[in-house]
Amino acid sequence: MSQKSVILFLLIIGNISLIRAQQLRGFHAERYTLTPVFSYTQMSDANGESIKTIPRFSLSAMQKIHYGWKWFGVTGGLGVSNLGIITRPNETTILKRRVYSLTPEAGIRFGFPKAGLFMGIAGDIPIHYKEKEIAGGEKIRYTKFFSDKISRFIPSAYAGISFYYVEIRAQYLLGNFFNPKNPSFNGVSTKMLNIAFSFNHLYMQQFLRNIGGDYRKKPKSPPPPKWEGDDKNIQKTSL
């Protein structure tokens, strides 16, 4: 079985598991797709000197389930993240490094399912690594599945606030982005902070229906039943 087939299989199994779990009593589904993420990274070399980085924008995807009581609940989810770092070693060179990873997470929530505070832990399992160097108008690309340039597992912690169909959260990577055992990144340290803006499609559909009616096309109602005979032949009688 190829590496791409394994990744696709894991995504399908994870998605089916979440869908089945949300059908149980007490579970609540939260679907977030194409989440915009703003990333800021501090990076230093083996000598402790700072390496210039550039803020980065990316898109991720996540599906979550929530189980809870009136004011407290637990959450879990599985997503696909796009982590990366953009560095500028000199004025003519830009290095773009990114990795697509599977991201399981678990946390707790305070407040109602549609609005509240939440926090938890997550972990990125790198799958597909991409690297692009832009120097003097030339581009050099490198790509590899399960590359040894990236750490095998990158833990993180997150916290945020949600209100109906909008969720804002901050995620801090507790581990190093690069693999310290790789000779190219021996002694290199990274500190990454991600700010994500998510939109819950289920709540957004409900909100649109509440303010503007059901935007989906409704089926036509059947015509009223017809009376037997012709109305014109009905004669009025007087008492």
Q: What is the CATH number of the domain that holds 150?
A: 2.40.160
Of 96, 83, 97, 90, nearest to 51 by C-alpha is 90
Domain range spanning residue 135?
A: 3-213
Residue 228 placed within a domain: no
CA 103 to chain centre: 9
* CA 62/CA 90 separation, integer angstroms: 36
Residue 66 placed within a domain: yes
Choice among 133-147, 196-210, 224-238 with the minimum mean pLDDT: 224-238
pLDDT bucket at 22, cuts 50 / 70 / 90: very low
Structure confidence at residue 227 (pLDDT): 54
What are the tens digits of pLDDT across the range 103-157? 999 999 888 766 788 899 999 999 999 999 998 778 899 999 999 999 999 999 9
* CA 141/CA 98 separation, integer angstroms: 12
DSSP symbol at 209: H
Q: Calculate mean pLDDT across residues 8-25.
A: 50
Residue 182 placed within a domain: yes
Residue 221 placed within a domain: no
Tokens for 11, please give them: 């995504």
pLDDT bucket at 223, cuts 50 / 70 / 90: low
Residue 230 placed within a domain: no
Residue 160's alpha-carbon distances to 55, 83, 112, in angstroms, are 21, 19, 14
Structure confidence at residue 24 (pLDDT): 47
Q: Which of 35-44, 58-67, 161-170 has the highest mean pLDDT?
A: 35-44
Q: 97 with 54: CB under 8 angstroms?
A: no
Q: Per the structure, how many domains does the chain have?
A: 1
Residue 226 placed within a domain: no
Of 78, 34, 88, nearest to 199 by C-alpha is 34
**Cβ-based neighbours of 35, under 8 Å, separated by 6 or more:** 59, 60, 61, 62, 196, 197, 198, 199
* CA 65/CA 54 separation, integer angstroms: 34
154: helix, coil or strand?
Answer: strand
Q: Calculate mean pLDDT across residues 187-213.
A: 72
Residue 234 placed within a domain: no
Q: Calculate mean pLDDT across residues 85-106.
A: 90
H or E stretch including 203?
Answer: helix 201-212
When computed from its CA atoms, the radius of gyration of the chain, rounded to whole angstroms, is: 26
pLDDT bucket at 226, cuts 50 / 70 / 90: low
Report field, pTM of the whole predicted structure over 0.75: no
Q: 41 with 192: CB under 8 angstroms?
A: yes
Residue 219 placed within a domain: no
- Return the percent helix, strand and coil in the chain, to nearest 5: 15, 55, 30
